[in-house]
């Protein structure tokens, strides 16, 4: 006969093992795969939220992937390779064409992080000098092309008042500018800042002044993650806004994180902080006027044959109360 004393250790070990397993499941973090359309300062609140523990406080583990453009990001969302996407507002066009996603937050508004850069010592001195000149953008039908067209319209030159040249990556555009194959380029603020810092470039236009009503960046989520893990999506949005709130009162710490993440100088990080903090959307709510402008931009770029009501592709149900 086995005594109670003899049996107790084995029973205790089994019980402890079972408790460990159940506890492990009970406290397992929610894992979300998050894709970024490009490495840009505008997405830094995510890195801040992760590095300061804001995501951990939500029992959230973020697995980040950086893509080389909006098309790749939404291909990944459609293929269920990522759950959440940080991209541009006009990417709502992918949803209008059937991508299985929802826009879950307006991340940032007027495109202050979009700039038109010329050579510092080049022949282009004023905006009027760009009429008829060659200006590069990322790809045909891109936000950068549309923004340049808006600038041209406001100058009274018509949408085709500048010769738009699709050159792809920022490095290719920079090389073309330095060799004077183009007269200017439309790029994000970090690239513009790098060129200014090295003394080769000069920012001629910031597009936040050209298109004041807009959602330059939007957060997307797949229909699958929305249906299967709505609490996880809510946790992500809480994590995002906690990161953004931290940035507001921790300039030096934010500059350190962004300089390490984006491989830029601390001085440039501080400059971008001052420039871009005002363009973040503090509530995540979608503005009807901004959505109208985005819809018009998609029509102008030939992405749609008629204007769309983009609000039907967006939801605010996952936004935390602010």
Judgement on whether residues 103 and 219 belong to the same structural domain of the protein: yes
- Asked if pLDDT for residue 9 goes beyond 60, the answer is no
Using a pLDDT cut of 90, give the percent of the chain over it. Answer: 77
Return the CATH number at 282: 3.40.190.10
pLDDT at position 16 is 42
Residues 127 and 196 in one domain: yes
Confirm whether 240 is domain-assigned: yes
For residue 124, is it within any domain? yes
What are the phi and psi torsion angles at 171 (to 5°)? -65, -40
Host domain of residue 74: 29-109+214-313
For Cα atoms 113, 110, 181, give the angle at the middle one, nearest 5 degrees: 40
User: Residue 191's pLDDT is what?
Assistant: 92
Residue 189 near residue 114 (C-beta atoms within 8 A) = yes
Residues 154 and 267 in one domain: no
Greatest pairwise CA separation for the chain in angstroms: 100
Which of left, alpha, beta for 180 (phi over 0: left; psi -120 to 50: alpha)?
A: left
Same domain flag for 224 and 300? yes
Instruction: Read off the pLDDT of residues 143-170 as tens digits, 9 standing for 90 and up.
Output: 888 899 999 999 999 999 999 999 988 8
Burial level of 84, CB count in 10 A (0-12/13-18/19+)?
Answer: buried
- Asked whether the whole model's pTM tops 0.75, one would answer yes
Tally of structural domains, the chain:
2
Same domain, 93 and 225: yes
User: From residue 131, how far is each of 142, 205, 262 by CA, in Å?
Assistant: 20, 14, 34
Q: Tell whether 250 is covered by a domain.
A: yes
pLDDT at 5 over 50: no
Q: Is the pLDDT of residue 1 over 50?
A: no
Quote the CA–CA distance of 288 and 140 in Å, as a whole number: 27
pLDDT tens readout for residues 198-231? 999 999 999 998 999 999 999 999 999 999 999 9
CA separation for the pair 36, 178 (Å, rounded)? 28
Q: Judge if 251 and 233 occupy the same domain.
A: yes
Is the pLDDT assigned to residue 20 strictly greater than 80? no
| Residue where one domain finishes, among candidates 206, 231, 250 | 206
Residue 285 and residue 141 share a domain: no
Are 193 and 227 part of one and the same domain?
Answer: no
């Amino acid at each position: 006969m086995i005594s109670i004393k003899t049996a107790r250790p084995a029973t205790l070990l089994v019980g402890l093992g079972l408790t460990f397993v159940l506890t492990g499941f009970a406290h397992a973090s929610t894992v979300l795969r998050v894709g970024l359309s490009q490495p840009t300062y505008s997405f830094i609140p995510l890195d801040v939220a992760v590095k300061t523990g804001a995501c951990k406080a939500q029992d959230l583990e973020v697995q980040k992937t950086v893509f080389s453009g909006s098309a790749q990001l939404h291909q990944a969302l459609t293929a269920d390779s990522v759950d959440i996407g940080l991209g541009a507002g006009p990417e709502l066009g992918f949803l209008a064409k059937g991508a299985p996603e929802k826009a879950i937050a307006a991340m940032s508004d007027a495109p202050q992080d979009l700039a038109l850069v010329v050579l510092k010592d080049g022949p282009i001195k004023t905006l009027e000098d760009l009429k008829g000149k060659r200006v590069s953008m990322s790809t045909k039908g891109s936000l950068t092309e549309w923004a340049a067209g808006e600038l041209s319209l406001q100058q009274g030159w018509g949408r085709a008042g500048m010769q738009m040249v699709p050159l792809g990556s920022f490095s290719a555009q920079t090389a073309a500018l330095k060799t004077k194959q183009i007269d200017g380029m439309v790029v994000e603020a970090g690239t513009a800042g790098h060129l200014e810092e090295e003394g080769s470039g000069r920012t001629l236009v910031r597009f936040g002044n050209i298109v004041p009503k807009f959602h330059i960046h939007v957060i997307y989520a797949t229909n699958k993650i929305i249906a299967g893990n709505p609490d996880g999506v809510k946790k992500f949005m809480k994590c995002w806004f906690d990161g953004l709130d931290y940035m507001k009162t921790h300039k030096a710490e934010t500059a350190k994180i962004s300089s390490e993440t984006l491989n830029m100088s601390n001085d440039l990080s501080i400059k971008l902080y001052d420039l871009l903090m005002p363009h973040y959307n503090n509530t995540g709510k979608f503005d009807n006027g901004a959505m109208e402008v985005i819809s018009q931009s998609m029509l102008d770029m030939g992405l749609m044959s008629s204007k769309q009501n983009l609000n039907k592709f967006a939801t605010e149900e996952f936004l935390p109360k602010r």
